[in-house]
Amino acid sequence: MKKVIFIIVCLMSAVLVGCGIFSDELDTDNSDKLDDFDDKMGIEGYVLAKDNGRILVVDPIPQDFSANGGVSEFYNAIWLSGDTEQIDIGETVRAWFDAVAESYPGQAKATRISLIKSKKVGGADLNEAEVVRRALTSDELNVQAVVAIKSVAYDKATDSWKVIAKQGEDEFNIEVIDTKTDLGDSADNAGDIPEVPLRELEDTFRNGIYQEVDETTRKVKNFDTKAQWVQYMSEIMDKSLAETFANDFFNEKENGLYLISRSGPVVLVFEEPYEIEVIDGTKVQAIQKGENILLGKYQLTVTYEYREGNWIITERQFLSDDLYPTDKFQ
């Protein structure tokens, strides 16, 4: 398995450029037929987060840079954009890309993504992807920091899974009970998870974007910086997602925060039909297809996750027939 070394953490700081020749595609059938691509830049690992159409892939195998004065246990991680709609958190992928933006985790456009079939252990109810998803909801982990999954193993004697996770200098041993009804809580407490407050979350999101401003200058009255706005919005949405919207809709100047003059984000229209898809007990998606003069045909998918006792928005994906085939929205 090929790995990209993010030199920013080690010896140099640069943008890595490869020579990929593949189209942007998701391969779900040929993950065992990829030997021809071993000379291209790539990564194989768990998908441990999704954000605004991207996936975060983290290699479970560390690299040792201590001989060069670096860390002894470095986990390669990269945010990949591309054909990621069908990929869920917890799954394992191989991905190739041409260039990596200088950061950690890295950022790149995938030229090819291959979904590796999730392992199913005999005698176990859950597969590996389901176990990883549940492990990521552990209260021990910091949801804002990169986590690496070192190993996932089923213990038949206890009918549970042992997941070893690494985050910074800390290592965590997380137990996941092997039952389809275990949704991040015990079976007795799973029913305590409330329904998703869709209207409340969408209204707060909409009101957060459409801030009260000075009519002449468009200066925001209630916040002075993007950081203040992000902190406020983090109560109802993932912080990284809030940061994305802050950059898209606000300009920060020395004398305050200004709302950019542009069309607002697409939101759920509760008066129109929409579908609810339950991913698991702690993750739900609302999907709405619509059409108007400005946008044409479109599909909005909003993902909600139950974290630390509250439902929050973790992803908003908007697809329009300007970017995708029209028949996708029939």
Structure confidence at residue 32 (pLDDT): 44
Structure confidence at residue 258 (pLDDT): 96
- Helix, strand, coil abundance in the chain, percent, nearest 5: 15, 35, 45
Structure tokens at 316: 């908003």
Structure confidence at residue 66 (pLDDT): 84
What end-to-end distance do the CA atoms of the chain give, in Å? Answer: 40
Structure confidence at residue 39 (pLDDT): 53
Structure confidence at residue 207 (pLDDT): 92
Structure confidence at residue 2 (pLDDT): 38
Structure confidence at residue 260 (pLDDT): 93
303 near 50, Cβ under 8 Å?
yes
Residues 6+ apart with CB under 8 A from 55: 47, 49, 79, 80, 84, 87, 93
Structure confidence at residue 328 (pLDDT): 35
Structure tokens at 79: 């945010």
- Round to whole Å and give the CA distance between 31 and 9: 30
89 near 136, Cβ under 8 Å?
yes
Structure tokens at 288: 């709405």
Spans in the chain with pLDDT lower than 50: 1-25, 28-34, 36-37, 182-190, 323-330
Residues 6+ apart with CB under 8 A from 150: 60, 62, 164, 165, 166, 171
